[in-house]
Amino acid sequence: MLVVTTNELEGYRIVRHLGLVRGLTVRSRSVVGNLGAAIQIFFGGNITVYTKLAEQTRQEAFNLLIAHAQEMGANAVIGMRYDANEIAAAVTEVLAYGTAVVVEPISAQGGSAGPWAPNAPVASR
């Protein structure tokens, strides 16, 4: 599965748009996690407890996005973004979203996607 934040995929042609896909997860911070973070806050610097939680939450939302796109028959997602909102105290929603598409590689004989495309012909001097 190809996932990009751009609205097109260099070297590929979008042959079908399947629509919006998303992955949503809601997480809370545990009391133990908050205690560990409070200790880290006291000393300053990176709050690794929260960093790890944020990374795991984004990864879960991303995995759900991929699963949703595959269910729709997509082989790529374009325009992928994250969004996060606090729903309640210590409860955060993370959303990964984008547009599910079906893409196919642009062949060297079938058209040109520019000099950076895979298998693009090398200009002669």
Residue located via tokens 């911070």: 29
Instruction: Quote the number of domains for the chain.
Output: 1
- CATH number of the domain enclosing 61: 3.30.110.70
pLDDT digits (tens, 9 = 90+) for 70-124: 999 999 999 999 999 988 877 889 999 999 999 999 985 555 555 444 554 444 4
Neighbouring residues of 17: CB distance < 8 A, sequence distance ≥ 6: 99, 100, 101
Residue 121 lies in a domain: no
Q: Output the pLDDT for position 61.
A: 98
In the chain, what percentage of residues exceed pLDDT 70? 70
User: Which amino acid belongs to residue 63?
Assistant: N
Containing domain of residue 45, as a range?
A: 2-105
